Amino acid sequence: MQLKMKQLTLNISENKFNAFLEFIKTLDYVEVPEPDKKTLSELQNSLNQVKLIQEGKIEKQTAQDFIDEL
């Protein structure tokens, strides 16, 4: 039998985050999923590209070029 779960979003001070995370992992009724490392890596690459575009170091891609790549 699979239990229904609810999701909660919390804002926690950066300096207390790791301690809080370790605490909630000890609770048997709380599920803390591990992040998907591939997705995080792809997101970081995308953010880096946006930064380079904002700095003018790489050109923006047109919508048509994007569609053509698909």
Q: Which residue has the tokens 């970081």?
A: 44
pTM for the whole thing? Answer: 0.47
Residue ranges of the domains in the chain?
35-70
Tokens of 26: 């000890």
- Residue 49's nearest CA partner among 37, 66, 67 is 66
| Residue 31 and residue 21 in contact, taking contact as beta carbons nearer than 8 Å | no
Residue-level pLDDT, tens digit, the chain, 70 residues: 677 889 999 999 999 999 999 999 999 999 888 888 888 899 999 999 999 999 999 988 888 888 988 8
Cα separation of 38 and 42, whole Å?
6
